[in-house]
């Protein structure tokens, strides 16, 4: 019984750790964004009329996360070091509790009095479950309390702006709309829109180009045109788009996006870093967005006959003397 009990206890604790780690990894990947917004990669863009809620954080990026005391002067696109992640459930306090419990149980078994037979072993598993639940609740509680103060996740409040709609769906205060790549559901207004923080003077020609690029990127993504995506997106954003296309191909799926129509768009913020200009734009757009079985053409997800609407924030980057490129795409936070 001692040998069987020790083996089962070790397997139980190890299994819980493995399953939870997988779940957290999947949660980080789903529902967020990818790419780089330079030194503002980990900050939440201001809310706008088009996107009245917070954007989902960028959780797939090559931009290192800066600590509050670090200098953040240069754009870091193309780096291979992944962004720092907040400690998981089994970091720090949680790991110590579970590690101590597992170690205590195993030492007790080795001393001959840890399990006390089958009933004792079941009691050990029950204790592991109770401690696990308590740690999870504690981490969630303290995580919620600490999140608003964390760097990069505090929304910026400002006065309401925008008027004079233009012919392309932008406000000249700036609403326009984009096709969805893993898009998000429409969000209902929750609070007043922020004044766009435009530090570089985004003009109508830029807005027209953003709308055109929205359609071009969606078309290239749907046809899996890697050459076109390389021209339209930065190397980092292109790598994430290519990864999504590769994942679809591996699963035998193909995402088709067509009939893209920009409904509304706003410039959330625009700024300059060294020799590069950035513009983050909230876009609400309609499109026919379906996923098909690559072999049979059968629709797996989406409606081929009716358009769906998505709201996303796209960040565009322009090096001095160059053209705009897509550098990041974010959905809306749940």
The C-alpha angle with vertex 216 and arms to 315 and 31, in degrees rounded to 5, equals: 50
pLDDT band at 334 (very low <50, low <70, confident <90, very high): confident
Burial track 168-196 (b if 16+ CB lie within 10 A, e otherwise): bbbbebbbbbbbbbbbbeebeeeeebbbb
For residues 223-245, give the mean pLDDT.
97
pLDDT number for residue 31 = 55
3-state secondary structure the chain: CHHHHHHHHHHHHHHHHHHHHHHHHHHHHCCCEEECCHHHCCCCCCCCCCCCCCECCEEECCCCCCCCCCCCCCCCCCCCCCCCCCCCCCCCHHHHHHHHHHHHHHHHHHHCCCCCHHHHHHHHHHHHHHHHHHHHHHHHHHHHHHHHHCCCCCCCCCCCCCCCCCCCCECCCCCECCCCCCCCCCCCCCCCCCCCEECCCCCHHHHHHHHHHHHHHHHHHHCCCHHHHHHHECHHHHHHHHHHHHHHHHCCEEEEEEEEEEEEEEEEEEEEECCEEEEEEEEEEEEEEEEEECCCCCEEECCCCCCEEEEEEEEEEEECCCCCEEEEEECECC
Closest CA to 55 of 302, 287, 265, 314: 314
Question: What are the pLDDT digits (tens) for 203-220?
Answer: 999 999 999 999 999 999
Mean pLDDT of 242-251: 96
Q: Which residue has the higher pLDDT, 202 or 149?
A: 202
Query: Do 327 and 233 contact (CB within 8 A), yes or no?
Result: yes
In the predicted model, what is the mean pLDDT of residues 138-153? 52
Is a pLDDT exceeding 60 seen at residue 79? Answer: no
Give the dihedral of Cα atoms 113, 117, 123, 128; nearest 10 deg. 70
Going by pLDDT thresholds of 50, 70 and 90, the confidence category of residue 134 is confident
Query: Is there a contact between 238 and 230 (Cβ–Cβ < 8 Å)?
Result: yes
pLDDT at 112: 52
Distance from CA of residue 315 to its chain's centroid? 14
Taking a C-beta distance cutoff of 8 angstroms, is the pair 102, 13 a contact?
A: yes
Token reading at 38: 């330079």
* Tokens matching residue 246: 């590769």
Output the CA angle 151-140-15, nearest 5 degrees: 115
* Residue 266 vs residue 190, higher pLDDT: 266
The two beta strands, 325-330 and 308-319, are antiparallel
**Residue 86: pLDDT above 90?**
no
Strands 253-273 and 197-198 turn out to be parallel
Structure-token pair, residue 204: 């109508």
Structure tokens that stand for 264 in this block: 């509304």
Q: What is the pLDDT of residues 293-326, one digit of tens each?
A: 999 999 999 999 999 999 999 999 999 989 999 9
Mean pLDDT of the 113-138 span: 65
List residues bridging with 256 in a β-sheet: 290
For residue 108, pLDDT over 60 is answered with no
Q: pLDDT tens digit string along 152-181? A: 333 333 333 333 344 556 654 444 444 444
pLDDT over 50 (residue 148):
no
- Quick one: pLDDT at residue 321? 86
What value does the mean pLDDT take over residues 69-76?
Answer: 44
């Amino acid at each position: 019984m001692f040998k069987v009990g020790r083996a089962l206890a070790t397997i139980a604790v190890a299994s819980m750790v493995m399953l939870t780690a997988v779940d957290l990894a999947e949660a980080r990947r789903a529902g967020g964004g990818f790419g780089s917004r330079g030194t503002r990669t980990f900050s939440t863009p201001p809310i706008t009329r088009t996107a009245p809620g917070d954007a989902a954080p960028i959780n797939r990026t090559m931009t290192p996360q800066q600590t509050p005391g670090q200098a953040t002067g240069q754009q870091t696109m193309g780096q291979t070091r992944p962004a720092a992640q907040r400690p998981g459930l089994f970091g720090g306090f949680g790991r110590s509790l579970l590690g101590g419990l597992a170690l205590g149980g195993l030492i007790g078994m080795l001393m001959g009095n840890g399990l006390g037979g089958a009933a004792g072993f079941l009691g050990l598993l029950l204790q592991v479950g109770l401690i696990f639940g308590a740690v999870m609740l504690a981490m969630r509680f303290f995580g919620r309390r600490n999140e608003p103060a964390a760097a990069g996740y505090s929304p910026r409040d400002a006065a309401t702006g925008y008027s004079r709609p233009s012919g392309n769906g932008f406000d000249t205060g700036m609403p326009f709309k984009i096709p969805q790549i893993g898009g998000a559901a429409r969000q209902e207004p929750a609070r007043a829109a922020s004044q766009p923080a435009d530090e570089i003077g985004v003009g109508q020609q830029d807005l027209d180009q953003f709308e055109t690029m929205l359609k071009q990127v969606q078309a290239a993504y749907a046809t899996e045109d890697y050459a076109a995506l390389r021209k339209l997106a930065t190397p980092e954003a292109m790598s994430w788009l290519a990864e999504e296309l590769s994942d679809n191909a591996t699963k035998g799926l193909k995402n088709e996006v067509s009939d893209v129509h920009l409904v509304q768009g706003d410039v959330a913020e625009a700024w300059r870093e060294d020799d590069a200009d950035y513009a983050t734009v909230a876009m609400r757009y309609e499109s026919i967005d379906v996923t098909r079985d690559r072999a049979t053409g059968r629709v797996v997800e989406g409606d081929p006959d009716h358009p769906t609407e998505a709201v996303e924030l796209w960040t565009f980057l322009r090096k001095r003397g160059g053209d705009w490129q897509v550098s990041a795409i974010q959905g809306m936070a749940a």
